[in-house]
Structure formats: structure tokens, C-alpha cells
Structure 1
Amino acid sequence: MIPGNGQVIINGKPYVEYFCHRQSALSPIAKTFSATKTEGKYDVIATCSGGGVTAQATAVSMGIARAMVRLSEDLKTFLRREGLLTRDPRMKERKKYGLKRARRAFQFTKR
């Protein structure tokens, strides 16, 4: 994140083009800038991989929020209140032994 004119580039593409097939993925990134009133003040160059489109957008949004906290510590409580610094704790549940998947059991046969 560097001072600039508001360009957000993710994996070499502008974020509007990178998330073009999912409009809801654009809102977390825009929300980060609008919440702190810094639209058009910083350029962001980010790389992300894995997960889905929404997860990547949320990850980039959190990265931008963390970078803003490094620039100005005063924004920390405000960004935390907006939920932009909170990590999603949900993880894939592990497969248990004796089961087919995490919770799916093998088919039961009576005979």
C-alpha cells in the first residue's frame, strides 16, 4: 500500500476486473476505503491465492485494513468496530477415523 490515486491491483489485474464475475466481492475492498475516508489516496498491490472469490476479497480487505493500522494507529479501534480487522475463524473440519468424511459415516447395511 503506497500513496497514490486509488488503484487496487490484485494478482496483476485491477480489482474490478479480477472480481468482475462476483459483484458482492467488490464491496469489502470498497468498504475498507470508504470507512476510513481514504478513497483515492492509496494504491494497493496485492497477491492472493486459494479459497474462493469472496474469501480472497475479504483477505485483501483485511490486508488493506492492517496496512492502514500500520500507517495510523488511531484507525485501529474504528476498523475493529467495523469488523474489518476480525479474521473469520471457520476452518475445514478434519476427517475422523471410522468415518467416510468429517461427519459422513459409511452406509449401514443390515444384512
Structure 2
Amino acid sequence: MAATKDYVGTGRRKSSVARVRIKEGSGKIQVNGRQLDHFFTEEKDRNAVTGPLVLTDLANRVDVTITVNGGGITGQAGAASQGVARALKTMFGPAPTTADEPETESSGIAKKLRDSGYLTRDSRMKERKKYGRKGARKSFQFSKR
């Protein structure tokens, strides 16, 4: 029997980057070598990571390995969510190209993920500090005299 193929996806959120590998399996999710519930302690972060899997009914059919770095916990969860969605999209391949071919499960999965917002990058980043200022926008108190 041949080794199962890995499907890769990259997700980004704020300053976090997640590299995701998906393969056929029993539903194990590892984040930086730890179990999902040991790495993401809050329920909302765990739901963000498993959201694309639950939406496509693949939660117990694939093993997910995630490597995240940068940013905070919630940013890493958002990056992992996008990475999982992108990996699922590559796993089921591109949509059918010919017009006479009926819509298959694969194109339906990509459309489901897109419509639910899992494939969309949240582009909000922290604004950089400017010179002559206290922060990005805040300034020192102005004195006329």
C-alpha cells in the first residue's frame, strides 16, 4: 500500500503564520506537536481551527498537523483556520473545467468554504509606530507656548 499523500495549506492572520498538513486518517489534530485542546485552551479558538472540518463533514476522516508561529493565541487560531481551509481545498482539487461535467463534491467543498469566509484573509494588521509620536496615532501633548 502506498503512503498517504499530504495536502498543504498556509494561513495568515495579523502577524501569525500557520503551515497545515492534512492526510487521510482518524481525526487527530496536532498543533506544534501538542494536542489541539492543550494548545488552544479557549473554546472559540478550538472552534476556529475545527470550523472548516466540521463544515465539510471531514472532522473524523482526516489527520491535521499544524505548525504556527508569531502573534498571539487568537491570531494563531485564525491563521490555522485559514490554513486548514486551504489544505482542504487543495485536497479536493480544482473545480471541473468542462461545462458538460456536473458539479462534484470537490467544487461544492471549495464553494462552501469560500461562502463561509474560511478562505478569506483578514487583512487587518497592527499599524506601525511613527517617528515623533508616542505610538501609531497617539502624539505628545501639544503646547502652543
With normalisation by structure 2, the TM-score equals 0.71
Q: Which residue of 1 aligns with 2:53?
A: 33
Q: Does 1:80 align with 2:114?
A: yes
Note the alpha carbon deviations across 1:11-41, whole angstroms, 9 max, x for none.
0101111112x22111112211110011111
Q: Which residue of 1 aligns with 2:84?
A: 64
Identity of aligned residues (%): 41
Gap regions ≥5 residues in structure 2: 1-21, 95-106
More helix per residue: 1 or 2? Answer: 1
Partner amino acid, structure 2, of 1:26: R
Mapped partners of 1:39, 1:93: distance in 2: 36
Describe how 1:1-111 pairs up with structure 2 within 5 A: 1-20=22-41, 22-72=42-92, 73=94, 74=107, 75-111=109-145
Partner amino acid, structure 2, of 1:15: L
**How much does 1:107 deviate?**
2.1
More strand per residue: 1 or 2? Answer: 2
Q: Please state whether the residue corresponding to 2:65 is helix, strand or coil.
A: strand
With normalisation by structure 1, the TM-score equals 0.90
Mapped partners of 2:65, 2:133: distance in 1: 43
Query: How large is the RMSD of aligned CA atoms in angstroms?
Result: 1.4
Q: Give the count of matched residue pairs.
A: 110
Mapped partners of 1:98, 1:52: distance in 2: 28
**How much does 1:102 deviate?**
0.8
Q: Please state whether the residue corresponding to 1:48 is helix, strand or coil.
A: strand
Partner amino acid, structure 2, of 1:45: T
